[in-house]
Amino acid sequence: MRVFVFSSAGAVTGGPEALHQMANKAAQMGFDVSVVYFPEGRSHAVPETYIPYDVKVADKAIDAADSIVVFPEVLTHLVARFRKATRVIWWLSVDNYFNAMNKRLKGKNRKGLTKKISYYLSGCREYVFQTKERIYHAAQSEYARQFLISKGIEEVFMLTDYLRRDFLESAALDARERENRIVYNPLKGIEFTKRLMDCCEFEANWTPIQNMTPYQVQELLSRSKAYIDFGAHPGRDRIPREAAICGCCIVTGMKGSAANPVDVPVPEKYKFDEKVHDVLPKVAAMLMEILQDYDSHARDLDAYRKVIVDQEQCFEREVSTIFTQLS
């Protein structure tokens, strides 16, 4: 059985890394696995970040009865090209599925995402849930699993991901004296974050994660007390996990995967609904508590950190389950 894993060429984000992680683990288990970079038919180098995963690369995926083809949700328009192979859609991000669909629709002079899509793009029909074809689904998050169930998908494989061992090990060794620093991602929920900064009456160093190497991000998180994330959580996001393992206290909104206790398993008191009218002073009060009594709040996340440390072993079991059942 041959396994082909599609990944967007040149993309260095959480989703593509998860795809390389899966290819790596499945190959270690004895499966014949290749990553196929999209667009196909071109010469694509493995991004430097993913070289340690030691993946095999194929120019194209083969549509045959002895093939398993894995598609991330952003490339589901390729699904219809394959008729003989066993097809798996891995839902790494619910939101990015709709973003990708809308982008392609607009490229064909269509307005927005309609309930039924019947047009063809480069010979490939967009994937829609009304299809009666046999397609398997895997979810990277509980948020994605619940989304699939709402679409009538009864069988959903869990296929999460993990933080690399070198990151976990170096983070554990990089215990630094904490500063009254609050870290945020300027690409997520920035409008709310700006309002929050204006609301806070205490002194703190607000630091965005931008234009940094992975090492610089780790170094920043390891000397900060809190990481906030009031943006969309389209899947089981990496930065909150990285922040937690580096010792930050985590404060989030309740969008996407942050709303459930499986994907972001921090105590409820650290989650705030941005739509509530008096939420800003409540978040500000929590952040002030964290800055003043960091140690006790940090202990509240010990269980979350244990989950993060154990994720690689969990992922190995999930990869074994899905490919063993589909082979």
Average pLDDT, the chain: 90
Q: Where are the domains of the chain?
A: 2-161, 165-309
- Does domain 2-161 bear CATH number 1.10.3470? no
From residue 146, alpha-carbon distances to 15, 152, 232, 255, 260 in Å are 19, 10, 16, 14, 10
Distance separating alpha carbons of residues 261 and 258, to the nearest angstrom: 8
Going by pLDDT thresholds of 50, 70 and 90, the confidence category of residue 312 is very high
What pairs with residue 121 in β-bridges? 124
Going by pLDDT thresholds of 50, 70 and 90, the confidence category of residue 114 is very low
Going by pLDDT thresholds of 50, 70 and 90, the confidence category of residue 176 is low
CATH topology of domain 165-309: Rossmann fold (3.40.50)
Distance separating alpha carbons of residues 46 and 58, to the nearest angstrom: 11
Distance separating alpha carbons of residues 4 and 104, to the nearest angstrom: 23
| Higher-pLDDT residue of 293, 119 | 293
pLDDT digits (tens, 9 = 90+) for 8-59: 998 888 999 999 999 999 999 999 999 999 998 788 999 999 999 999 999 9
Q: How many CB atoms lie within 10 A of CB 33?
A: 25
pLDDT digits (tens, 9 = 90+) for 200-240: 999 999 999 999 988 899 999 999 999 999 999 999 999 99
Q: Tell me, what's the pLDDT at 257?
A: 95
Q: What are phi and psi of 140, to 5 degrees?
A: -80, -15
Going by pLDDT thresholds of 50, 70 and 90, the confidence category of residue 108 is low
pLDDT of 183 over the 70 cut: yes
Q: Tell me, what's the pLDDT at 172?
A: 64
Determine contact, residues 136/87, Cβ cutoff 8 Å: yes
pLDDT of 63 over the 70 cut: yes
For β-strands 181-184 and 124-125, DSSP reports them as unpaired
Distance separating alpha carbons of residues 144 and 92, to the nearest angstrom: 8
* CA angle 309–313–318, rounded 5-degree value: 130
